[in-house]
Amino acid sequence: MNIFFFILGNNILPIFLLIGAGFILSRKFDLDIKSLSKLNFYIFVPGFVFVSLYKTEVPVEALKALAFAIILVFVLCLVAYIIARLRKYDKSFGNAFINSIMFYNSGNIGLPLITLVFSSGSYIINGETPYLNIAITTQIMVMVTQNVTTNTIGFFNGGRASSHWLISIKKIFSMPTIYAIPAALIGKLLPYDLTQMPGWPGLEYIRSGLIATALITLGVQLSKTKFTLTNKRVYLSVFLRLIGGPIIALGLILLMGFDGIIAQALMISSAVPTSVNTALIAVEWDNHPEFASQAVMFSTLLSAVTLTVVIFTASLIFPI
């Protein structure tokens, strides 16, 4: 029980304090979510990805995690599709329902959470965090998969015609994170130590700033969501995302032979709440935006409990 409360206090509470700060500030000052999102997508996320990948040796297991993330997306899609058909949802709502389960907040919550988990408690050895970089690298593989699929499959499910695939592809290649990954890998091949270059401390500042900025941005986004307690479809979506997600992920982790830190990171990552981007897609294409926004809101709130359980369970099932 002490471990449970340690996880809640040291890994989950800090996240929700920052989300709460963004929520309150937005309600008081009506912060511009578009500007904050651009800061995240164009500065903090690519900077974080570049520095993390450059400073970390990428083992085969991390690349294997990329395959896991892709498989998980399609398994979640299949499960959500079957449930939507069994419950006889119409095509429009069924697509919004599938999006809410397939796509999760691997960036705004996933990266900060993995960073906090693997830089605290028993993961600190002699004042060092030896497991942090590989955990972050694993999470980056998940985040890349989620970003690409959200901006392709997610937009298609949101109601776009097939002709809009080109727009989706164009949007993907306008995201700096796509280029930060090969840039970091190429940098590792150069006969120079980029960390000794004059501009490197600036990149370190960007990397350090991601967690607070991403979580405050999420709070701002959630402040613009309306509450309602009567939509049972929202509860089903939240259950499948927060409970079904990690259960399915656990099966895949065991099937694919992961263990240790990578297994823990993948299981924890699979339990984060519904991606805010699913709500943005629903709003943009007028595809049940109220449902999508509520799925994001309630999954985020309830994840304070479920994530604590998943983090504790992952450490028991996959000891280091």
The structure tokens listed for 189 are 């091949």
- Residue whose C-alpha is closest to residue 97's, from 299, 264, 258: 299
**Predicted pLDDT at 172:** 65
Mean pLDDT, rounded, of the chain: 85
Q: Euclidean distance between the first and final Cα of the chain, in Å?
A: 20
Number of folded domains that form the chain: 1
Does residue 291 contact residue 226 with C-beta atoms inside 8 Å? no
d(CA 118, CA 211): 14
Q: In sequence order, which residues have a C-beta less than 8 Å from that of residue 276 and are 6 or more positions away?
A: 105, 108, 218, 221, 222, 296
Residue recorded with tokens 């499959």: 153
Does residue 306 contact residue 271 with C-beta atoms inside 8 Å? yes
pLDDT reading at 6 higher than 80: no
pLDDT reading at 163 higher than 50: no
pLDDT band at 70 (very low <50, low <70, confident <90, very high): very high
Share of the chain above pLDDT 70, in %: 91
Q: In sequence order, which residues have a C-beta less than 8 Å from that of residue 196 and are 6 or more positions away?
A: none
d(CA 122, CA 150): 34
d(CA 3, CA 11): 11
pLDDT reading at 283 higher than 70: no
**Predicted pLDDT at 249:** 97
> What own/partner pairs with CB < 8 Å and gap ≥ 24 does 252-256 have?
252/68, 252/71, 252/72, 252/75, 253/68, 253/318, 256/64, 256/67, 256/68
Q: In sequence order, which residues have a C-beta less than 8 Å from that of residue 164 and are 6 or more positions away?
A: 155, 156
CB-count burial class (<10 Å; 0-12, 13-18, 19+) for 263: buried
The CATH number assigned to the domain holding 285 equals 1.20.1530.20
Find the angle CA(196)-CA(200)-CA(205) to the nearest 5 degrees: 140
Q: How would you classify residue 193: left for phi > 0, otherwise alpha for psi between -120 and 50, otherwise beta?
A: beta
Domain that holds residue 302: 2-317
pLDDT band at 91 (very low <50, low <70, confident <90, very high): confident
Range of lowest pLDDT (108-112, 115-119, 121-125, 163-167): 163-167
Q: What is the pTM of this model?
A: 0.80
